[in-house]
């Protein structure tokens, strides 16, 4: 099932949370939805699931409007909200029965689905415990089981690994990848490694607007339009002198001190140009010597910082 988000605008009073946001999630895709705090991820997910009516625009699930037919589209969507609200006093199994009943399941079908969810989400050893007694990782599994109980074709997961320890994160990611083989999944996260490990495609939003869209590989290529070199130079004590000399090179666009605590500089060349030879020549002319000249490969984290930085 395809999700089409079309020209969403949303205001909370005077606060604009979504700004002409449009994108598609293709059938069978696991799409990562990234953005800094307050970017509008949860608002978008609520609009997709029909729990919030956007101020303007609409969402279509396989062509069906969510604002016009929220009850119909809700049946096709499983939703794991942020902070996964669960009933702590309910045993896991009773909670899943309750969640199934809310989705209109009954009789043998309900029993079969609950059994299936216990199996898929690895809840067999915990199924008779109260939810409040479970570890965070198992609570999250219960949340996923609840979201999947009616076998929805679309799964919306809001920060599914928040608060989990590293082992639990790996387990939940693996579970999402397994489930994602058969479903259309939209997963929001702050964690770039998570998105890179789990998702086929990545969207980045900032201040309610789409700022990047592509596979992690494509985003890296788009961002690598500028050559970036890590440069360290010996033979000169005055770092500012080297800094100024680098800035004077015609092919150089930006020079910065390295922010990874290593000495040296990060040099960004102008679009389509390379500064490597000129840096080498500059050293020779000044009687300095290069101790490092390495191209810097951007990772998703750098791209994220670049597209979401304050203007
Ligand atoms: N119920 C609300 N009332 C007023 N403002 C809200 C409400 N919910 C969200 N906002 C505001 O709308 C903007 C988008 O919030 P949203 O929760 O969608 O962002 P997010 O990307 O999910 O953030 P986070 O990663 O911190 O969860 C923020 O500025 C937020 O303060």
More confident residue, 279 or 222: 279
pLDDT in tens, 92-107: 999 999 999 999 999 9
More confident residue, 15 or 191: 15
Structure tokens at 288: 């300095």
Does residue 216 share a domain with residue 72? yes
The residue out of 188, 220, 252 marking a domain boundary is: 220
Return the residue matching tokens 């979401």.
308
Say how many Å lie between the CA of residue 308 and the centre of ligand 1. Answer: 16
Q: Specify the pLDDT at position 41.
A: 93
Cβ pair 110, 188 in contact under 8 A = no
118 CB near ligand 1 (under 6 Å): no
Does residue 229 share a domain with residue 211? no
pLDDT in tens, 183-206: 999 999 877 777 877 888 999 999
12 CB near ligand 1 (under 6 Å): yes
Does residue 256 share a domain with residue 216? no
39 CB near ligand 1 (under 6 Å): yes
Mean pLDDT value of segment 249-278: 85
CATH number of the domain encompassing residue 29: 3.40.50.300
Region of poorest pLDDT, from 38-47, 60-69, 292-301: 292-301
Does residue 69 share a domain with residue 8? yes
Ligand 1: which of 9, 42, 205 to mutate, most ligand atoms within 8 Å of CB?
Answer: 42
The residue out of 195, 220, 245 marking a domain boundary is: 220
17 CB near ligand 1 (under 6 Å): yes
The residue out of 180, 205, 220 marking a domain boundary is: 220
> What are the Cα distances from residue 202, in Å, to 32, 106, 149, 197, 277?
5, 38, 27, 11, 36
Does residue 244 share a domain with residue 272? yes
Does residue 128 share a domain with residue 118? yes
> Of ligand 1's atoms, which has the minimum distance to the CA of residue 82?
27
Does residue 94 share a domain with residue 59? yes
**Which residue lies with its CA nearest to atom 26 of ligand 1?**
37
Does residue 242 share a domain with residue 181? no
Mean pLDDT value of segment 57-68: 96
Of 306, 104, 281, 138, the closest CA to residue 206 belongs to 306
* Residue 47 domain boundaries: 3-220
**Considering its fold, how many domains does the chain have in total?**
2
Decide if pLDDT at 310 tops 80: no
> Of ligand 1's atoms, which has the minimum distance to the CA of residue 18?
14
Q: Specify the pLDDT at position 260.
A: 61
More confident residue, 308 or 199: 199
- The pTM is what? 0.75
Does residue 81 share a domain with residue 158? yes
Q: Specify the pLDDT at position 171.
A: 81
Say how many Å lie between the CA of residue 8 and the centre of ligand 1. Answer: 15
Does residue 64 share a domain with residue 147? yes
Decide if pLDDT at 261 tops 60: no
> Of ligand 1's atoms, which has the minimum distance to the CA of residue 39?
21
Does residue 244 share a domain with residue 139? no
Say how many Å lie between the CA of residue 89 and the centre of ligand 1. Answer: 29
Mean pLDDT value of segment 286-294: 94
Does residue 176 share a domain with residue 163? yes
CATH number of the domain encompassing residue 245: 3.30.70.100
More confident residue, 147 or 36: 147
């Amino acid at each position: 099932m395809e999700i089409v988000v079309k020209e969403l605008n949303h205001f909370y009073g005077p606060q604009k949370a979504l700004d002409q946001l449009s994108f598609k999630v293709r059938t069978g895709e696991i799409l990562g939805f990234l953005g800094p705090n307050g970017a509008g991820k949860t608002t978008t997910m609520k609009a997709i699931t029909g729990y919030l009516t956007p101020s303007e625009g609409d969402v279509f699930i396989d062509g069906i409007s969510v604002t016009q037919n929220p009850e119909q589209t809700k049946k096709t969507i499983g939703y794991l909200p942020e902070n996964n609200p669960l009933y702590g006093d309910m045993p896991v199994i009773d909670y899943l029965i309750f969640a199934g009943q809310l989705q209109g399941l009954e009789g043998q079908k309900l029993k079969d689905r609950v059994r299936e969810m216990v199996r898929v989400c690895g809840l067999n050893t915990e199924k008779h415990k109260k939810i409040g007694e479970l570890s965070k990782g198992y609570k999250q599994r219960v949340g996923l089981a609840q979201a999947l109980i009616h076998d929805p074709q679309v799964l919306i997961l809001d920060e599914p690994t928040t608060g989990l320890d590293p082992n639990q994160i790996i387990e939940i990611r693996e579970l999402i990848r397994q489930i994602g083989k058969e479903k259309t999944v939209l997963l929001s996260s702050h964690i770039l490694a998570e998105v890179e490990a789990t998702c086929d495609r990545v969207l980045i939003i900032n201040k309610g607007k789409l700022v990047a869209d592509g596979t992690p590989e494509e985003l890296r290529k788009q961002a690598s339009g500028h050559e970036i070199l890590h440069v360290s130079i010996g033979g000169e004590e005055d770092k500012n002198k080297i800094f100024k000399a680098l800035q004077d090179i015609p092919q150089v666009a930006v020079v910065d001190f390295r922010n990874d605590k290593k000495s040296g500089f990060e040099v960004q060349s102008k679009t389509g140009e390379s500064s490597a030879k000129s840096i080498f020549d500059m050293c020779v002319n000044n009687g300095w010597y290069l101790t490092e000249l390495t191209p810097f490969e951007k990772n998703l984290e750098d791209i994220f910082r670049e597209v979401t930085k304050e203007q």
